[in-house]
Chains A and B, each alone.
Chain A
Amino acid sequence: MGGWRSRRAASWSPARLAWRSAVGHRRGQALALVAVSALITACTAFAPVYDRAMQQALVYTLLARASPAEKAVTVVSQATIDAGGETDARDPRDLRALVPADVAAHLEPPVLGRTAIVTPVAGDVPPTGQLVWRDGFCEQVELVSGVCPAAAGEVLVSDADVDNFGLSIGSTRTVGSASDSPDEVRLEVVGTYAASDGAWWQGLRLGGSSSVFGGTDPSATHDVWLTTEDTFVEAPILTGESSQAGALVRTESADVDEVLALGDRLRELARTVRAEGENLTVDSDLGALTDDVRAQTAQAHRTVPLLMAPMAVLTVFVLWLVLAAATEQRRREVAVARLRGRGPAGAVGLLLVELLPLLLLGVVPGAAAALAGGAVARSVLPGEAPFEVGAGFVASVLLAAAVVVLTTVAAAVRVAREPLDALVRRGRPPSRRWALGALDAFLLAAVGTGVLAFVTGSLDGPLALAGPALLALFAGLLLAHLVAPAATAGGRRLLRRGRLVSGVTLLETGRRRETRAVIAVITVASALAVFAVDAVAIGERNRTHASEHDAGAPVVLRLAGRDLVGVRAAVSEADPTGRRATPVLVSGETLAVEPDGFREIAYFPRGAPTDAQWEAIAPPAQAPVDLTGSRFSLDVRTGDELTKVDALGSDSEVALGFVVVTDTGTRRRIRLGTVPQPGGTATLTGTDEACVSGCTLAAVELIAAQAVDVSGDLELGDLRVDGRPADWPTAADDWNATDAQSTVIRPTSEASDDALGLLVSTNGLYPAQLTPAWVPDTVAAILPAARRDPLGLVVAGVDGSDRPAESVGRVTLVPAMPRSSALVDLDALSRGAEVSYDAHPEVWLVDDPDLLAEVGTALRERGIAVADLRRASTIRQAYRDTVATWSLGLGAVIGPAVVLNALLVLLVLAVTGWRDRARDLAILRLNGAGRRTTRRLAAWAQVPAILLAVVTGVAAGTVGAFLAMPDVALFPTVPEVPVIDTATAWPAVLYVAVACLVVLPAVAATAGLAVARRARPERVTETV
């Protein structure tokens, strides 16, 4: 023979052979390989893309939500006066020069300015407010009348100031300086302006402050008075005088890197500027913003891996299954290669040449899918972040490719290194015994240890977040190893009872090699889907809770001033039903409400008070003592034993008076006169014109010099107002006994019928008061569950004083209030008291623009300004625009994706194993089984295992979420009140469970039917 001569065969191409094998011969499997590889790459690469998109969206949101003041970067120089002398504020131009060019490049053009606090030296109630110069301010306000200031001392004032303080063009006011010097500054009004709150003013509020409040402590504030720079330059140093150069951060193209870098540079600038002078500062909230960005990004770095890592592991597991099936199918090729002298390494090479190109090909669409997902994320998230292919993305794609390569090598080595005799054997002998392999045992032990630590709470921090995945894996592995023997035993029992289809189905479940993989994957996938969707639902619920708690009601108007009576009248006028708008008074941490309207309008996200609790906080039912008039008289009779002596034992004078509250809510004192001598009777009188329009009695008081002891009986009766008899309660129950350590005033029943008898014992602290029972002695309060009062319960009164209180019930949260707050009845808290500056009124209402307008009009008519408006919807959106929300939002993608993974496994196993199963069914048909029977067997082949796996997975996912959700960051910062409720979101769990229970068995059954259609008798002898 003359042929043995060539060392190289003609046109030999391993790649062509591999292509023909992989794509030509196993097209479905090739598609599965590409798909799984793409899925792994997409999952891996999407994490950094999404992370980046979240960061960009966060920066956009924070900047968009930031007020001009929060976006301003201002270099401030404060004028100082101290023992060392006076130091003027620096020239604003010098301040501008302190900003380095690289920082200035990220800022809008700076606005120079000067500011001081001025108060006219003359007038009954001289208003206090800001005197401001901003370079170019005339173009930034609407000049209503007059001219723009041009010379030193000229000012523009607001129309409100004109109305409130009698100013007009030409009016002059003289304001004092900051020092003790007699120098004063004369200001002349040359025009009026309409306020503008544009961004140019960088948060400076020009108007809305002008107000006068009378009462016992009158005060007034004026709006900003605008003047020229010369006013400051020529004047002595004014109170709180400063100069500044401020600019807004450019937001139109700010990306996360720039903003973070700018925040760092501003901190550095603040240090540098401070070193130049003690009175120099850099004011900027950008540092807080960048801290927020970093904190939320750190949160994302916990939550995103929590959701993505289990899915990535599952996907790698799926890849392993697919590769195991693919390499198993190539055992014959491996055997041929080994028979022809290729060693295990050569056989590995053979497999890699065939499999790796497909898998690496899948990396490309996977990377593209990740970028497309990023584009979708950017379009869904706020802002318009640019398209980016960052280092994180590239690293992730490379990581995915490395994982794919390593997994493929491992799968190839697993088959190629088998002994040759095992490779050349026809088929693999099925194991008839249940056995736990060393690897399985190790996995179960390792995962079981993790689960034990997770369940007992020993895992904390980021490790705790791996708990749900560990639990799912443990449940999946355990179930996978228990099902085979159980199904086999069950199948035999059913067969003995003549149940052919169900018996054979269970026997098949126990016999088939892929049962373990199917059960493990579907258990883990179901668990992760339940966990992910449950987490999304819990997150949404808690955001709703938090926003409802923070807002308190759909719309809340915070009002300036303290005119509670006016507010109640305005609300009553705008909403006569009292069910759509309600007045509220916030005093310290006490929330005083009108229960009937409040319970209809306010949010109680974690449980509202019961009817009994609402009834329990109602004020006393007693009627008030009406003192409408101007002249008052009261008969006073003293007991024979009455003593009133001072510290030296001398008889001392004791006076009697009324404390009343006018119909405008002002508390006033009316002195009635001196108590007669012991055993005497007198008619005491007093006058107060303020009560002509209506007063109610808040207290009767005894007034004496300090340290005077008063002891004995008194009788008070025959109250007359403007000479007419008035109702005067005389029963003991109509009054609150005063029973303090130094003061006892106790009503008695020993007086004559028309008089109130009192037993008095005071020893030195005055005035000593006796309140009518109409004023609750102790305020009934509903408290938050977390509040603890070991020293006794008090609530803040409307005047800021502590009021004794009693708890009548608990709720988890009091709307819009902190954890140590109290919910009380507005009437109960305000009776007999005057609202002080420690309290502020609010109006809580439903979100109805018409109602809002009516309430606003009614308030304006009473001179009540709205200081702030908050909406639940705005707060809810703010909570939604956080990294915590967006991170958890991944769950909405991951839930379906893991189920898709499970579907892929079922399809891959169907594609790779259909010939064997079709042959088995064909043999059954040859043995007499009907087509219907084989179809039923094929359809039900995997269904029992899948159903069991889904149920187990759902249970594992639910338990995992229950245990892990307390460790998941639902908000950027931990709420101070217990808004967080991580209870299982059962509707979401049921939704996922039903979806898995329907979709997965349906797909398996459909694949089985497709196999059954191919179970023709000729399959029995099929080889090539």
Chain B
Amino acid sequence: MSGLEIRTRGLVHIYHAEDHDVAALSGVDLDVAAGEMVGLLGPSGSGKSTLMSLLAGVLRPSAGKVFVGDTEVSAAAPRRLDRLRATEIGLMLQGADRNLLTHATPGDNVRFAQQPARRAGRMLADPAEVLAEVGLAAAADRPLSELTPGGLQLAAVAVAISSRPGLLLCDEPTSQLDHEARDQVLAALAHVNRTHGTTVVLVTHDPDVARVLPRTVTIRDGRIGGEGRSGEEYAVVTADGFLPLPGHAREGLPPGTLVRVHQVGDHYEIRPERP
């Protein structure tokens, strides 16, 4: 299966706590092209994991729409969402153990993950080949408890890609890994992206990881706070015309500052009004 594109429009998600509500996302417009590999960056609590859950159909948005390929995930019926996760969306939660059957071998985990897709008529690779693809061929029948943290993360990647999804969503796939393991995991993800055209969206805090990604999207306060492409940082104008300022600009433009926006040639200038 080739990669799936992602489109979100005005995505809002509010968590209802016992005595107050928390807006995790406050209007996210995001487009990811099919076959892209995108990193989601941002501080803790900015809404990255929430966005991943919304993309995977684990959560339903409070408002806005999510499209994965031709499917409006935000409005899909539960059965349709199950089928999507079985065949087209691979989700890797943060922490390898949360993605694996702890009492099963990597091979069994892959087999287990492939079952729904096979029932749906999908032609899938043998588990050994899937594991070989992430470099775990030799550990196919070993207990998970014998794997290193990196090996566990690779097993989780193998499980997530076992049904050859068009979209692979990975939440912090490299956290708590040493450099070697981190690089192995990134290499595996890049291989999947490159070889199968799978769209890959991963959440990371690691600047080293962000640096190697072709595109990064920074989530800040529940909104798209900026984008990075090929090492360059950009602010992103939202569909309704908002422009989140990049971090360094915020220091000089505290909240409440009045600015004037002037077109100067082919670019725009933001000039604060000094009292």
Contact = CB atoms under 8 A, between A and B. Distances in A.
A432 B79 CA distance: 34
B83 interface: yes
A343 B79 contact: yes
A496 interface: no
Interface string B76-106: 0011001111110001010101111111100
B116 A17 contact: no
Contact of A340 (B95, B97, B116, B144): B116
B125 A336 contact: no
Nearest to B159: A340
* Chain B interface extent, by class: 35 or more
Contact of A7 (B53, B100, B122, B196): B122
A21 B100 CA distance: 12
B237 interface: no
Interface stretch (A219-227, A419-427, A882-890, A998-1006): A419-427
Contacts of B102: 25, 332, 1024
Nearest to A333: B101
B40 interface: no
Interface stretch (A8-16, A845-853, A934-942, A979-987): A8-16
Contact of A20 (B86, B103, B130): B103
Given A332-B97, A432-B18, A341 B86 contact: yes
B115 interface: yes
Contacts of B84: 341
A5 interface: yes
Nearest to B145: A1024
Interface in B169-189: none
B103 A7 contact: no
A346 B78 CA distance: 13
Given A3-B130, A4-B124, A424-B93, A341 B196 contact: no
Interface in B222-274: none
B126 A1 contact: no
Contacts of A12: 111, 115
Given A336-B100, A341-B86, A341-B117, A4 B152 contact: no
Given A25-B102, A340-B85, A343-B78, A10 B126 contact: yes
Contacts of A3: 125-126, 129-130, 133
Contacts of B152: 1024
B3 interface: no
B48 interface: no
A343 B82 CA distance: 6
A340 B133 contact: no
Interface string A337-371: 11111110010000000000000000000000000
A17 B58 contact: no
B116 A341 contact: yes
Contacts of A336: 98-101, 112-113
A341 B116 CA distance: 6
B86 A340 contact: yes
A424 B92 CA distance: 11
B114 A9 contact: yes
B123 interface: yes
Interface string A570-600: 0000000000000000000000000000000
A6 interface: yes
Contact of A1024 (B58, B114, B144): B144
Nearest to A1021: B176
Interface residues of A, number: 35
A9 B127 contact: yes
Contacts of A25: 102-103
B99 A339 contact: yes
A421 B58 contact: yes
B118 A20 contact: no
A335 interface: yes
A339 B117 CA distance: 12
Contacts of A424: 53, 58, 93, 98
B199 interface: no
Contact of A341 (B18, B83, B195): B83
A457 interface: no
B163 interface: yes
Contacts of A6: 123-126
A29 to B, nearest CB: 12
Contacts of B122: 4, 7
A1 B98 contact: no
Contacts of A20: 103-104
Interface in A1-43: 1, 3-10, 12, 17, 20-21, 24-25
Interface in A391-442: 420-421, 424, 426, 432-433
A342 B98 CA distance: 16
Nearest to B109: A336
B59 interface: yes
A7 B123 contact: yes
Contact of B98 (A10, A335, A337, A340): A335
A1023 interface: yes
Nearest to A12: B111
Contacts of A1023: 95, 97
Contacts of B95: 426, 1023
Nearest to A22: B103
3 closest A-B pairs by beta carbon, nearest first, are A341-B86, A3-B125, A3-B129
25 contacts: A3-B126, A3-B129, A4-B124, A4-B125, A4-B164, A6-B124, A6-B125, A7-B118, A7-B121, A7-B122, A7-B123, A10-B126, A20-B104, A21-B103, A21-B104, A25-B103, A332-B102, A337-B112, A339-B85, A340-B116, A341-B87, A342-B86, A342-B115, A342-B116, A426-B98
Interface of A: 1, 3-10, 12, 17, 20-21, 24-25, 332-333, 335-343, 346, 420-421, 424, 426, 432-433, 1023-1024
Given A6-B124, A20-B103, 9 more contacts: A1-B133, A5-B123, A20-B104, A25-B103, A336-B100, A340-B115, A341-B117, A421-B58, A1023-B95
